[in-house]
Amino acid sequence: MNLYGIRAIYKFEMARMRRTVMQSVLSPVISTCLYFVVFGSAIGSRMGDIDNIAYGAYIIPGLVMLSLLMQSISNASFGIYMPKFSGTIYEVLSAPVSYVEVVLGYVGAAATKSVILGLIILATAKFFVDYDVLHPFWMFSFLVLTSITFSLFGFIIGIWADGFEKLQIVPMMIVTPLVFLGGTFYSIDMLPDVWQTVSLFNPVVYLISGFRWAFYGVSDVHVGISVGMTLVFLTACMVGIWWIFKTGYRLRS
C-alpha cells in the first residue's frame, strides 16, 4: 500500500477545501440554517409533535442528511472531474499508485469534508432547535458510513460526467427529490398505505430513518434494515468503481 500516494492526493483535496471555504463550508451551513429558522423555529412552533418529538427537532436528522448527501456527491465528483478536465488525470494514472489508492485518496478526502460539515451543521442546529442524541456512537457511524457511500457515488458521477452541467444533473434532479420525499419533513407512517409502500422503494428513506433512530430511538423502518440497505448501496458503488477502472471507462480516452 502506497501511503505516500494516498496522503498526497488526500492532502491536495483537503487543501482545496481550505481555499474554497465559502463554497465548501459556509454556503451549505447557511442554507441549512435557513431550513432550521423557517421549518424549525417559525413553522415548527405551530406544528404538533411527531412520535412525541418536537417538529423542529424531528427534522434535524433529515436536514443533516440532505446536506451530507449533496456535499458528499459534490466533493467527490468535482474532485475527480477536475483532473479529467485539465488532463492531469493521466499523471495520476501513470503514477506508482494503484486504483485502490487513488480511490482512497479522493473518496477519503470527500468523506472527511462531509463528516466535518455534518458535525458543524449539528453544532449550529443547537442555536435554533433543542435536540438530543440518544445513540452518539451510532449517529457518528451513520454519518461516516453515509459520507463514504455517497462519496463513492459522487466519484462515479465525476468519471461519468463529460461536462460541468452533468455534475449537477444527478444531485439536483434525482438525489434532492428523493431526500425531500424520503421522510425529511415527515414520517412515512403519516402517508396513506399505498404511498407508504411506494416510499419503501426510495433508498434515502432508509438513510434518514436510521439516522433519526440514532437521535431519538424512533424510525420508520427497522434500524437493521437501514444499515443493510446502506451497505448494499456501498457495495454497489464499489463494484461500479471496480468496473470503471477495469475497463478504463472515460479514463483512457
Task: Tell me the pLDDT tens digit for each residue of 161-194.
Answer: 888 888 888 888 888 899 888 888 888 888 888 9
Q: Annotate 167-210 with DSSP letters as a single string.
A: HHHHIIIIIHHHHHTTTSSS-GGGS-HHHHHHHTT-HHHHHHHH
Work out the mean pLDDT of the chain and round it to a whole number: 87
Whether 40 contacts 59, CB under 8 Å: yes
Site of grid cell 399505498: 194
Phi first, then psi, for residue 124 (nearest 5°) are -65, -35
Amino acid 18: pLDDT: 80
> pLDDT tens digit string along 60-87?
999 999 899 999 999 999 989 988 888 7
**Whole-number Cα distances in Å, 245 to 40, 73, 88, 214, 251:** 44, 19, 16, 36, 8
Write out pLDDT tens, residues 8-52: 889 988 988 887 777 778 888 888 888 887 776 667 667 777 888
* Domain spans, the chain: 3-247
pTM: 0.91
* Mean pLDDT along residues 119-143: 90
Distance CA 222, CA 245 (A): 35
